[in-house]
């Protein structure tokens, strides 16, 4: 397992200077936070490491993590699955969306140690450049992105949205709670509202999802 200092000097932080200003920004912030005494507790608790084991994209992974490690950081920094992106790190933007036990979640608002035995699917597990998931193909076809930073989260979310509709889970815009919902444009936009795209590629994202939802699985 990499030590904290190895993490701070990780290959990605050194190489991807321009694209990941968000990720780089977190390192000094985290270091500063650990040196600041705030809150009411006089006696500090020492960092604690815990072992956790879960399945990621079909493979069992065992990790020793600081209890503070989010699922997002475990995926990116420990397992080097950097397809999942860190946007706001507060559950507001959806860039970190992954699918855990068939449900989409914000991986930034979940601790790695709380996923013992879970099955996690990230964008890397949905498809590869050679063999893309139909949702990935549709995003490419419909230009469902510009900068691409929110795209892995958008795609994981979209795949889960189609399953949610199939499972009959209603949404805020579902007219009759007792009739199975259909994936109309209004339904799709409401259900995708937890994924923000600063480039504003929403209409193309909606077209991509509509195409996949309409085609037989």
Partner 1 sequence: MKPFTYERATSPAQAAASAAGARDAKFIAGGTNLLDLMKLQIEAPAHLIDVNGLALDKIEPTPDGGLRIGALVRNTDLAADARVRRDYGVLSRALLAGASGQLRNKATTAGNLLQRTRCPYFYDSNQACNKRQPGSGCAAIGGFSRQHAVVGASDACIATHPSDMAVAMRALDATVETVNPHGGARRIPIADLHRLPGDTPEIETTLQPGELITAVTLPKPVGGKHIYRKVRDRASYAFALVSVAAIVQRDGTGRMALGGVAHKPWRVEAAEAALPRGARAVAARLFESAKPTSQNAFKLALAERTIGAALMQAKG
- Interacting residues toward partner 1 by CB under 8 A: 33, 36, 38-41, 44-48, 50, 66-68, 70, 89-91, 94, 97, 103-106, 109-111, 113-114, 116, 157, 160-161, 164, 167-172, 174, 177-178, 189-195
3-state secondary structure of 103: strand
CA 100 to chain centre: 10
Residue 115 tokens read as 């996923």
DSSP conformation class of 48 = -
Q: State the number of CA atoms in the 13 A half-sphere of 176 facing the CB.
A: 4
Q: Compute the least distance from the CB of residue 168 to partner 1, in Å.
A: 7
Q: Compute the least distance from the CB of residue 61 to partner 1, in Å.
A: 19
Q: Compute the least distance from the CB of residue 130 to partner 1, in Å.
A: 29
CB 158, CB 212: distance < 8 Å? yes
* Residue 187 to residue 201: CA distance in whole angstroms: 17
Q: Compute the least distance from the CB of residue 96 to partner 1, in Å.
A: 9
Comparing CB distances to partner 1, the nearer of 185 and 193 is 193
Comparing CB distances to partner 1, the nearer of 15 and 46 is 46
Comparing CB distances to partner 1, the nearer of 46 and 59 is 46
CA-based end-to-end distance of the chain: 39
**Spatial CA neighbour of 155 closest among 191, 116, 208, 118:** 208
Cα-based angle 160, 164, 169 (whole degrees, multiple of 5): 155
128: region left, alpha or beta (phi > 0 left; psi from -120 to 50 alpha): beta
Comparing CB distances to partner 1, the nearer of 106 and 121 is 106
Q: Compute the least distance from the CB of residue 178 to partner 1, in Å.
A: 6
Comparing CB distances to partner 1, the nearer of 81 and 165 is 165
Q: Compute the least distance from the CB of residue 201 to partner 1, in Å.
A: 17
Locate tokens 């994209």: which residue?
Answer: 57
Comparing CB distances to partner 1, the nearer of 70 and 204 is 70
3-state secondary structure of 108: helix
């Amino acid at each position: 397992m990499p030590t904290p200092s190895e993490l701070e000097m990780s290959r990605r932080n050194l190489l991807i200077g321009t694209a990941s200003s968000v990720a780089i920004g977190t390192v000094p912030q985290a270091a500063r936070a650990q040196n600041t005494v705030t809150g009411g507790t006089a006696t500090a608790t020492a960092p604690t490491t815990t072992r956790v084991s879960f399945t990621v994209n079909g493979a069992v992974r065992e990790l020793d993590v600081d209890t503070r490690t989010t699922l997002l950081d475990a995926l990116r920094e420990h397992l080097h699955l950097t397809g999942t992106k860190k946007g706001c790190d507060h559950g507001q933007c959806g860039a970190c969306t992954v699918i855990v036990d068939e449900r989409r979640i914000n991986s930034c608002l979940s601790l790695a140690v709380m996923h013992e035995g879970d099955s996690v699917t990230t964008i890397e597990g949905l498809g590869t450049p050679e063999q893309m998931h139909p949702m990935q193909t549709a995003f490419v076809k419909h230009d469902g992105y510009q900068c691409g930073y929110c795209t892995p989260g958008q795609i994981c979310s979209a795949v889960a949205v189609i399953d949610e509709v199939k499972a009959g889970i209603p949404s805020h815009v579902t007219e009759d709670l007792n009739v199975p919902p259909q994936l109309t444009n209004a339904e799709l936009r409401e259900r995708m509202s937890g994924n923000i795209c600063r480039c504003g590629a929403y209409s193309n994202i909606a077209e991509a999802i509509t195409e996949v939802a309409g085609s037989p699985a």
